[in-house]
């Protein structure tokens, strides 16, 4: 019986360690611990109430760092920057990036979801249209999703109201470069067509990723992000590195100095945390003790 209880306890610990969104970062000369919270843009704000140890992490830290400073996204400067980055430069048009058949498929999906004629979007980058379609599809098919209520924004707003410092691990321009400028226009068009040609698959993948996050299961999220179909819709070499790995490594170079300055709550996308090149593993390699909050 004692052996059985020990096995059950081990399984319980193993399962719990893989089902955490909030992690404590200690050691390596820190007087007080810092914390890192994985977020997901498509879940209701109420998920925060089920994250173990969150009040302790908020009370025990003096500053909040996100991927970017979210308040900057409401500035006139950001709107000008966004306008510049989401538009196709030169003489190229959206239609020129598709075959006639592909253009018709994408146009139908745009009409049904964005309520716009695709001809009106002729100078918008395909990646920007993909992002807008994704938001609309999530609003239609994910219960409780409200793009105006984001975890990242919430924690930064709460920090400001408490008189705490708010900072970003990267600039808005660098994030726009990843989202809108890191792929060729033709590759962006191919991915937009992939979405439009199989909407149901996109919805299914999004729902499963959402459920994994709600279950606070980072390993399952990583598994879903690594799913491949063996076709041109799969990530090409270097794309996931640009989206995740390279940014993780750049953040790790900045985080020690930030934590040395003051105990910090880092709030970043949950997809950045797990895996061999995830932030949790990279922090451990830097000599920090990283453990899930209970």
Q: What is the pLDDT of residues 190-201, one digit of tens each?
A: 999 999 999 999
For residue 95, being part of any structural domain is answered with yes
- Can you list the positions of beta strands (E) in 93-220? 165-168
- Number of Cβ within 10 Å of residue 267's Cβ equals 26
Whether residue 158 lies inside any domain: the answer is: yes
Eight-state DSSP code of residue 209: H
Give the integer Cα–Cα distance in Å for 168 and 64. Answer: 9
Calpha distance 65→255 (Å, rounded) = 9
Specify if 12 maps to a domain.
no
pLDDT tens by residue, 235-245: 999 999 999 99
pLDDT of residue 144: 73
- From residue 39, alpha-carbon distances to 35, 137, 150 in Å are 13, 19, 9
Residue ranges in the chain whose pLDDT is less than 70: 1-19
Query: According to the model, what pLDDT value does residue 19 have?
Result: 54
Determine the Cα–Cα distance for residues 122 and 142; give it in Å rounded to an integer. 29
Q: Is 182 exposed, middle or buried (0-12, 13-18, 19+ CB in 10 A)?
A: middle
Those residues whose C-beta lies under 8 Å from the C-beta of residue 52, and which sit 6 or more positions away, are 20, 22, 293, 294
State the pLDDT at residue 4.
Answer: 35
Residue 168: give the domain boundaries.
22-292
Q: Which residue has the tokens 């609003």?
A: 139
Distance CA 66, CA 236 (A): 27
pLDDT at 17: 41
Is the residue at 114 inside a domain?
A: yes
Question: What residues contact residue 23 under an 8 Å CB cut-off, 6+ apart?
Answer: 35, 36, 37, 273, 280, 290, 291, 292, 293
Does residue 278 lie in a domain region? yes
**In this structure, is residue 11 part of a structural domain?**
no
Q: How far is the C-alpha of 163 from the C-alpha of 20, rounded, in Å?
A: 28
Indicate the number of domains in the chain: 1
* Structure token pair of residue 43: 């879940």
Element holding 83 (H helix, E strand): helix 76-86
Asked if the structure places residue 100 within a domain, the reply is yes
**DSSP label at 74?**
G
15 domain-assigned? no
The whole-number pLDDT of residue 42 equals: 83
Q: Which residues contact residue 258 at a Cβ distance below 8 angstroms, ignoring those fewer than 6 apart?
A: 63, 65, 167, 264
Helix (H, G, I), strand (E, B) or coil at 118: helix
């Amino acid at each position: 019986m004692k052996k059985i209880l020990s096995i059950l306890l081990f399984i319980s610990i193993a399962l719990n360690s893989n089902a955490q969104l909030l992690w404590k970062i200690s050691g390596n000369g820190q007087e007080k611990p810092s914390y890192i919270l994985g977020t997901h843009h498509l879940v209701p704000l109420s998920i925060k109430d089920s994250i173990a140890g969150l009040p302790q992490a908020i009370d025990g830290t003096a500053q909040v760092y996100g991927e970017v400073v979210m308040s900057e996204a409401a500035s006139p400067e950001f709107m000008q920057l966004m306008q510049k980055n989401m538009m196709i430069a030169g003489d190229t048009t959206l239609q020129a990036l598709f075959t006639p058949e592909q253009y018709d498929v994408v146009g139908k999906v745009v009409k049904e979801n964005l309520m716009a004629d695709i001809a009106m979007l002729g100078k918008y980058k395909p990646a920007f249209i993909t992002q807008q379609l994704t938001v609309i599809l999530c609003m239609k098919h994910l219960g409780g999703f409200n793009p105006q209520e984001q975890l990242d924004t919430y924690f930064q707003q709460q920090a400001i109201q408490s008189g705490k410092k708010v900072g970003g691990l990267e600039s808005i321009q660098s994030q726009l470069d990843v989202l809108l400028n890191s792929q060729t226009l033709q590759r962006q068009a191919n991915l937009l067509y992939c979405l439009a040609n199989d909407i149901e698959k996109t919805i299914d993948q999004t729902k499963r990723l959402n459920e994994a996050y709600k279950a606070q299961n980072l390993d399952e999220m990583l598994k879903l992000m690594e799913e491949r179909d063996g076709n041109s819709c799969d990530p090409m070499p270097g794309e996931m590195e640009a989206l995740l790995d390279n940014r993780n490594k750049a953040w790790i170079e900045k985080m020690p100095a930030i934590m040395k300055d003051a105990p910090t709550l880092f709030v970043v996308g949950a997809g950045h945390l797990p895996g061999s090149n995830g932030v949790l593993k990279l922090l451990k390699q830097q000599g920090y003790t990283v453990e899930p909050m209970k």
